[in-house]
Chain A
Amino acid sequence: MEQAWSFIEQLAADEEVIAAVRAALKIGIGFLVARLASHAVSRMFATQTTAHQEILARRVTFYLILGVFCASALSELGFDLGILLGAAGILTVALGFASQTSASNVISGLFLLGEKPFEVGDVIRVGTTTGEVLSVDLLSVKLRTFDNLFVRLPNETMIKSEIVNLQRFPIRRYDLQVGVAYKEDMRAVRDALSEVAEQHPLCLEEPAPMVLFQGYGESSLNFQFSVWASQENYMDVRNSIPAEVKEAFDARGIEIPFPHRTLVPASSGAPFSIQSAHDTADSA
């Protein structure tokens, strides 16, 4: 027991140990201060900025304060920061080779933050994944898809991929492809579609709705019906317009055809012989 006590006394008298304890304390306090400050910054920014900017401000505050305290703790331990920074350069190269993917993700993350193709809360489409951005982190972007799945996309992938931001602009166009039978009057189709847009309160009057003739299809005259809606009403418009177009066509007797196929045997060019079920029953 006495031995242990004398060992502790020796340690307490040792300046290096005292410095180490001080450094540890500094890091601990730094962590606490950084945490409190980042929360305060987050609260301060919450009402004035977007979620994206708030997260960015919180992270910068946290790492900056923690960094200052860590530097102070290192100098407490007797490290010369100048030399340390020099060594860090060499270390970075070594680490870079060792962890290429992570480093690439970090750098890509910085570019993503700088370029800001989307913000936290935006709905984006990357490849086949569509979802709401939950966070833009050091290594990856986290999405929540509409069927409530969590998707982690590495920053490097994000930089290389085509990203579609579905909510960047306040209004959006919905394009409905619709075909009508060849016998129909194209002007009547145009009028019917224009009336649908006019009577739908969520379709914007300006930019004006458009009816574009897309060409003579296999079994139908193809049209594109384009209407504009505000972001928040887009889904309503997308769901209601097809039903209303169908109703308008039915009311005017405009036919939406299904594909017609003519089958001809390749060998003889003669038509198929057809036997009805009635004939088959008679022969039996």
Chain B
Amino acid sequence: MESMPSDTLSPWWGPVDLDLNTAACWNVGPTTLWAYRTPQDWRILYSSTGDAMQHDSSVETPLGVDRWEEMEAQAQADTAFTLHRHTFRSTPTTLDIQPVSADRSIVVRPEHPLSIPPGEEVTLYLSLPLWIRVVAGTTALEEVPSHRPSDTWFGPSTQEGELCYATKTAGRLRLTNLPLRPHRSVTPLRIRNDAPDSLPLERIHVPAPYLALYAADGEDAPTHLWTQALTLTRDKGGVITEVRIRTGPPRDLEDAVRIQEPRREIKSGLVLNTFRAIEGLLGTA
């Protein structure tokens, strides 16, 4: 079967029907994912270049058995590839590729020191890596990060805290300046500082597993993904009193479509607690 690079399949997520003994390939940023269907198993192969600066995405389907065998041989010789087989009595025809938020919270550090003067309110646009979930029928087969961020620790001490992923932000304040990358989502974070002193933002803890994903079409840009927006308010006493996850799509994109539910449900007080650590870390407590 001829391989057919299908740019029309942009965005990279969505269901793909595959005949028996055919494969498909998804390039999502630095990660390449292959799926091959036999009567009895789905074979999922993936690798990452580790190059965070690789932003392209494409989907190729269907690919013939010869292309798959070539890839499988390459995977056996190269430890950078991971191959998993998922056996079924009879394999479902459709493979659904879904974007999901990270499985742990993400700590975002501005590339340059950033502070918010008293009485100011700003919206920062944070770019966060996405995970690729492979679903066959109703079963989730794999979850692969589009880019594996480094681990980090977020907490007041080495004894208490939470293991998170680390990423950096350029701290963009205008939506038009934001590069829209298909393998990352954008999280709008509005911060209001009512305290009489500046709020230095050294690190921001984003509770990614609690955020739903929205897909939005830009004017000239391809479809891209957003998470629910976050709002952070610091009161006159210098204490962060209110942290809110906005229900519904971000304010800038009212007609965005909700395509993925959060991994975890918010328990009362949880979000406030996760942000409480910021106060200690920022020295605003």
Contact = CB atoms under 8 A, between A and B. Distances in A.
Asked if A pairs with B, the answer is yes
Interface of A: 169-171, 198-207, 228-230, 233
Given A206-B154, A206-B166, A201 B149 contact: yes
Contact of A205 (B50, B159, B166): B166
A207 B151 contact: no
Contacts of B166: 204-206
A207 B151 CA distance: 10
B153 A171 contact: yes
Given A170-B161, A170-B163, A204 B153 contact: yes
Contacts of B153: 171, 204, 206-207, 228, 230
Contacts of A169: 158-159
Contacts of B107: 205-206
Interface of B: 50, 107, 109, 148-154, 158-159, 161, 163, 166, 203
B150 A198 contact: yes
Contact of A206 (B50, B148, B152, B159): B152
Given A170-B163, A171-B163, A207 B158 contact: yes
18 contacts: A169-B159, A170-B159, A170-B161, A199-B50, A200-B150, A204-B151, A204-B166, A205-B107, A205-B109, A205-B151, A205-B152, A206-B107, A207-B153, A228-B158, A229-B151, A230-B151, A230-B153, A230-B163
A204 B153 CA distance: 7
A201 B158 contact: no
B176 to A, nearest CB: 30
Contacts of A200: 150
Nearest to A170: B163
A55 B55 CA distance: 52
A25 B163 CA distance: 56
B148 A201 contact: yes
Contact of B152 (A170, A204, A233): A204
B274 to A, nearest CB: 16
9 shortest interchain CB distances as A-B pairs: A205-B152, A205-B166, A206-B152, A201-B150, A201-B148, A169-B159, A204-B151, A230-B163, A204-B153
A233 B166 CA distance: 16
Contacts of B203: 206
Nearest to A197: B150
A203 B151 CA distance: 6
Nearest to B161: A170
A229 B109 CA distance: 19
A158 to B, nearest CB: 23
Most buried by A among B150, B151, B153, B203: B151
Nearest to A200: B150
A202 B148 CA distance: 10
Contacts of A198: 150
B79 to A, nearest CB: 12
A168 to B, nearest CB: 8
A189 B216 CA distance: 47
A125 B50 CA distance: 37
